[in-house]
Amino acid sequence: MSGVLDGGALEQLVFDREIVVCCGPGGVGKTTVAASLALECARRGRRACVVTIDPARRLANALGLSEVGNAPSRIDGDWPGELWALMLDTKSTFDALVTRHAASPEQADAILQNRLYRNISGVLSGTHEYMAMEKLYELHEQGRLPGSSDHEAPRFDLVVVDTPPSRNALDFVDAPRRLTRLLDNRVFRLLMVPTRAYLRAVSVATQAFLRTISKVVGAEVVTDVVAFFQAFEGMEEGFRQRAQEVHDLITSDATAFVLVASPARDAVREAAYFADKLAEAGIPTSALVVNRVHPRFVEGGSEPGGGSEGGSAGGLEGGTVATALAPFYANLAEFVDIAGREESHFATLGARVAPAPVARVPFLPADVHDLEGLAAVADELFPPPASQRA
Amino acid sequence: MDPVGFCTQTRLLIVAGKGGVGKTTVSAAVARMAADAGLSTLLVDVEGKGGLPAVFGYDELLGYEETVMAPQRPGAGEIRARTLTPDDALLEYLEEHGMRRISRKLLSSGAIDVVATAVPGIKDILVLGKVKQLEQGSAIDLIVVDAPAAGHAVTFLTSASGLLDSVRVGPIRAQAQDVVDLLSNPARCQVLLVTLPEETPVNEVVETAYKLEDRVGVSLAAVVVNGLYPPRPGLDADPAEVAERQGLRLPATELEQLRAAARFRLGRAALQAEQVTRLARSLPLPQLPLPYLFTTEVGWPEVGILARALAAGVRALPIERAASSSGTVDASTVSPRP
């Protein structure tokens, strides 16, 4: 029974959880799955928001969004709930975060102008994850806190996010704490203290380190780094606290991690690695979605009519008969073969994440790139009988 | 063009594409094509993942040292592989620049991360700097770099030119300049793009092609279209009618299985053909088609099939491409039509 959809168990994702994080190797359809989960949530009369941080903007392809932004936009459609979507603008999210934590507009300016900051906020890949977490937290909190200034903003029942492709699912979980670790770097904390007495206390290793950087990248980089840490003076606590809150939310029961994979060897290997890393961090995988599975034309994996690869027409008599039907048998045999191989791959992966439910999404008649396609994927994830849809 | 000509146009070939399109498989197939043509090849994995050695039947991860993946055969060259991860490259750089003693400490204290953050792309530049060293130093005929996935590929290849704008002095700047010189020289380096014949991968490969051309001025060799269902003529009839014409009575379930499988294949093949056409319209690069192999794991025999398909595609390329940088997209005369 491995690989058989347990619709009931997948349903708790869109009913009981407040945040769903879709993670997995690149190119397996994380964005599609994330958007389909949010769409299903809206179809069940709830208010869902899907967030993507993928620089390739795949969600835009699927949802017809054209712009990145910081506020979710609502997608109209024929469903009782609400579907919102957001393509994250990493840099402006970070700018807003700095401005919020800064003690004065001058402090905010000093940071926003700093070259190190501009590099961090615009380019660094870990920053995408960090800002996604930040935005996730914001969207989750908005409308939830009594007396919140965001009372105009909708309160989402579910926020779904797809993670950017990274080596490790934990990069995502860990992202908010990475900046605080950066700010905590001892070498640079010493640099921030301007008096000579402290400079003398700077260790030999630190001096060697500074000489090293200056030699390799030029003194101006060092100046920038020091200015950056000075500008951040006094803000670390706010950042640290926020990072902790975000981390607590993401590791709480309100959040579910959905592992998305495709049934090929390399994707399965990577997905297993993701699952292991999550498990090591005490985070269970809530569901496994195996995407882009070939359809099973023959149930139970038995050979079609005795037909095997090649020219024999299923053990039937007659040479001319065989040639006319041979392509059909050969074709069917190819698909039976690949379906069997795929089955064994996701059985392995399913066992790895047990007792998490496993859902399969077969190749659909058309590539998924619009709402109709997302609805078709949602139908596969939540088969109509279980969902009691008309 | 013959495969030897294709593989020796430049000593460095960077294979780029979004995740899941089969970049690693294609890298291995290119190496096999070169090896089969008698050339020695080095595969470079910059992410330290297990996919590349697995293709050659190795269970273990690659190391920093070169490992023979396929020994020399009569008439065929050797295939070696190694990793070249950013951390490897950084350590080696520091050691080569007289900082062996403090390099480990720099890494362990996390201080190096601060600097790597201050100078974005420094790790990419060090990796490519090391690739340049290999390109200039080694006796190997072809170096195939399995680039990071998708959006990261663009960052990977544009870091050096970005750094030239922000760092004005020092050895890192010199390194970045060397990398830019390498990437933008069509006699030394080419990028082979990989995509699937599907909507989103096609959009992304077009976008990537123009970004690489505009920002790095890198020469684009071709675009590999991976996973095409091989043609299987005779599937467009109704199997029930075919059977009846032959005076055969097949069970209804079996007929339905045959019909459904045939319909599925024809449907997917038609979608793929549409995307191949769209890709040809949007991106004026030669296409190298590779068949879908109906397998979930590619090993040495499958790489052989793909290498031969690749060679067949290369032979169909016009010969004059070998002489010049005509493989590049001319952004001034061609506008993207996504």
pLDDT digits (tens, 9 = 90+) for A336-358: 999 999 999 889 899 999 889 99
Quick check: is B189 in a domain?
Answer: yes
Q: Does B70 touch chain A (CB under 8 A)?
A: no
Quick check: is B159 in a domain?
Answer: yes
Chain A nearest-CA distance from B293, in A, is: 9
Q: Range of B207's domain? A: 3-237+285-322
Q: Which of A129, A202, A118, A185 is nearest to A161 (CA)?
A: A129
Quick check: is A376 in a domain?
Answer: yes
Question: Crossing angle, helix A371-381 and helix A30-43, to 10 degrees?
Answer: 80
- As for the ipTM of the complex, it is 0.86
- Virtual CA dihedral for B276, B279, B285, B291, nearest 10 degrees? -30
Mean pLDDT of chain B: 86
| Measured distance CA(A386)–CA(A374) in Å, rounded | 18
Mean pLDDT of chain A: 78
Contacts of A369 in chain B (CB under 8 A): 199-200
Q: Range of A82's domain? A: 7-90+126-171+253-387
Quick check: is A325 in a domain?
Answer: yes
Secondary structure class of B88 (helix, strand, coil)? helix
- The answer to whether the CB atoms of B235 and A320 lie below 8 A apart is no
Q: Is the pLDDT higher at B2 or at A186?
A: B2
Q: Is residue A154 predicted with pLDDT exceeding 60?
A: yes
Q: Is residue B329 predicted with pLDDT exceeding 60?
A: no
Q: Half-sphere exposure (CA, 13 Å, Cβ side) for A83? A: 22
**What residue has token string 């869902």?**
A48
Number of CB atoms found within 10 A of residue A208's CB: 14
Chain A nearest-CA distance from B248, in A, is: 8
Share of chain A above pLDDT 90, in %: 27
A325: domain CATH number? 3.40.50.300
| Measured distance CA(A386)–CA(B153) in Å, rounded | 42
| Measured distance CA(B162)–CA(B121) in Å, rounded | 8
- The answer to whether the CB atoms of A119 and B118 lie below 8 A apart is yes
Contacts of B150 in chain A (CB under 8 A): 26-27, 56, 165
Quick check: is B333 in a domain?
Answer: no
Number of domains in chain B: 1
Quick check: is B248 in a domain?
Answer: no
Q: Where does the pLDDT of residue B335 fall: very low under 50, low under 70, confident under 90, or very high at 90 and above?
A: very low
pLDDT value, residue A58: 57
Quick check: is A115 in a domain?
Answer: no
Q: What is the DSSP letter of A88?
A: B
| Measured distance CA(A149)–CA(B72) in Å, rounded | 70
pLDDT value, residue B125: 87
Q: Does B150 touch chain A (CB under 8 A)?
A: yes
Contacts of B111 in chain A (CB under 8 A): 185, 187-188, 209
- The answer to whether the CB atoms of B261 and A266 lie below 8 A apart is no
Length of chain B as a residue count: 338
Quick check: is A212 in a domain?
Answer: no
Quick check: is B332 in a domain?
Answer: no
| Measured distance CA(B96)–CA(B112) in Å, rounded | 16
Which chain B residues in 306-335 lie under 8 Å from chain A, judged by CB atoms? none
Quick check: is B251 in a domain?
Answer: no
Q: Is residue B338 predicted with pLDDT exceeding 50?
A: no
B230: domain CATH number? 3.40.50.300
Q: Is residue A310 predicted with pLDDT exceeding 70?
A: no
Helices and strands in chain B: count of H runs, count of E runs? 13, 8
Number of domains in chain A: 1
Q: Which long-range contacts (CB under 8 A, 24 or more apart) does A186-192 make?
A: A186/B109, A187/B109, A187/B111, A187/B114, A188/A225, A188/A226, A188/A229, A188/B111, A188/B114, A189/A229, A191/A225, A191/A226, A191/A229, A192/A226, A192/A229, A192/A230, A192/A233
pLDDT value, residue A168: 60
> By CA distance, what is A306's nearest residue in B?
B254
> Which residue of A94, A216, A321 is the best one to mutate when testing the B interface, meaning the one whose CB has the most B CBs within 10 A?
A216
pLDDT mean over A292-314 = 61
Which among A221, A297, A367 has the least Cβ separation from residue B119?
Answer: A221
| B126, B179 Cβ separation under 8 angstroms | no
Contacts of B204 in chain A (CB under 8 A): 56
Q: What is the DSSP string of A151-175?
A: TTSPPPSEEEEEPPP-S-HHHHHHH
Q: Is residue B185 predicted with pLDDT exceeding 50?
A: yes
- The answer to whether the CB atoms of A187 and B200 lie below 8 A apart is no
Which chain A residues in 215-234 lie under 8 Å from chain B, judged by CB atoms? 215-218, 220-221, 224-225, 228
Which chain B residues in 264-303 lie under 8 Å from chain A, judged by CB atoms? 264-265, 267-268, 271, 275, 294-298
| H or E stretch at A259 | strand A255-261
Quick check: is B59 in a domain?
Answer: yes
Q: Where are the beta strands (DSSP E) in chain B?
A: 12-16, 41-45, 67-70, 79-83, 142-146, 189-195, 219-228, 287-291
| Measured distance CA(A138)–CA(A246) in Å, rounded | 9
| A143, A149 Cβ separation under 8 angstroms | no
- The answer to whether the CB atoms of B152 and A165 lie below 8 A apart is yes
Question: Crossing angle, helix B111-118 and helix B122-137, to 10 degrees?
Answer: 90
**What residue has token string 């077009």?**
B206
User: What pTM does this model have?
Assistant: 0.85
Which chain A residues in 26-45 lie under 8 Å from chain B, judged by CB atoms? 26-28
pLDDT value, residue B91: 81
Q: Give the best-scoring range by mean pLDDT among A171-180, B198-207, B277-286.
A: B277-286
Q: Does B166 touch chain A (CB under 8 A)?
A: yes
For A7-54, the pLDDT digits (tens) are 466 888 888 899 999 998 888 888 889 999 999 999 999 999 998 876
Q: Is residue A82 predicted with pLDDT exceeding 50?
A: yes
Quick check: is B42 in a domain?
Answer: yes
Contacts of A320 in chain B (CB under 8 A): 246
Quick check: is A347 in a domain?
Answer: yes
